[in-house]
Chain A
Amino acid sequence: EIVLTQSPATLSLSPGDRATLSCRASQSVRIYLAWYQQKPGQAPRLLIYDASNRATGIPARFIGSGSGTDFTLTITSLEPEDFAVYYCQQRSDWPPFTFGQGTKLEIK
């Protein structure tokens, strides 16, 4: 089973800052990694699929990069609505479709 490790667990930043979230896989997932955003009381929503492709309606400030075992989600200039929990998920080797444990992006 592929294990995804996200870092940091919590990231404290201010609106307008640049956020960099990491997801590391225990073995190569090629490009088959997705990022999700979850706000309190809501279902997750897809932000990025296949490492770098923005889902429909996702703003350009969300940028996914990486391949193999190391992936990054960058939010270039944080908006107030971006403060949430972010998860990565792999679909390279399944079952299971494993998730990372999440990174909480909070307002500093």
Chain B
Amino acid sequence: EVQLVESGGGLVQPGGSLRLSCAGSGFTLSNYEVNWVRQAPGKGLEWVAYSSGSGPTVAYSDSVRGRFTISKDNANNALYLHLNSLRANDTAVYYCTRGDYGSGPGSLWGQGTPVAVSS
């Protein structure tokens, strides 16, 4: 089955760090663009970060640039979002999405992983 599986979320104190994982199943993740999208409790969707498929291009929203970074693990068919200097307003469910050529950045979504930033 073709799917994305996120993991790594949890409860962290303000200023702390987490590493979120996005694993591809049934396809080769590095052949696709990947985005991270988050959703704060009771709120709408917010795009967070982008990674090109085979190339080095990454992009971040203004709200996370300088604190979040993307890295790739092609051997494990995975991509990571490193969350540093976490703030209370980073609390959200984090989704990874696969972008398909022609149909855009949200063609396939994972189930999401929750991140809670609280003391």
B47-80 toward A: CB 8 Å interface, digit per residue (1/0)?
1001000000001111000000000000000000
Contact in complex: A43, B109 (CB < 8 Å): yes
Tell which of B35, B107, B110, B112 touches A49, judged by Cβ atoms closer than 8 Å: B107
Residue A101 at the B interface, CB < 8 A? Answer: yes
Closest A residue, CB atoms, query B45 = A99
Contact in complex: B110, A97 (CB < 8 Å): no
A79-96 toward B: CB 8 Å interface, digit per residue (1/0)?
000000001010100111
Residue B119 at the A interface, CB < 8 A? Answer: no
Contact A36:B61 (CB < 8 A) given known A44-B45, A87-B45, A102-B44 = no
Q: How far is the CA of A24 from the CA of B61 in the complex (A)?
A: 21
Q: Tell me which residues across on chain B come within 8 A of A36, comparing CB atoms.
A: 45, 106
Interface of chain A residues 14 through 40 with chain B (CB within 8 A): 32, 34, 36, 38
Contact in complex: B59, A43 (CB < 8 Å): no
Q: Tell me which residues across on chain B come within 8 A of A89, comparing CB atoms.
A: 45, 47, 104-106
Closest A residue, CB atoms, query B95 = A43
B interface residue numbers (CB < 8 A to A) = 35, 37, 44-47, 50, 59-62, 95, 102-112
| A-B contacts, 12 listed (Cβ < 8 Å) | A36-B106, A43-B95, A43-B112, A44-B45, A50-B104, A55-B103, A89-B105, A91-B104, A91-B105, A96-B59, A97-B50, A100-B44
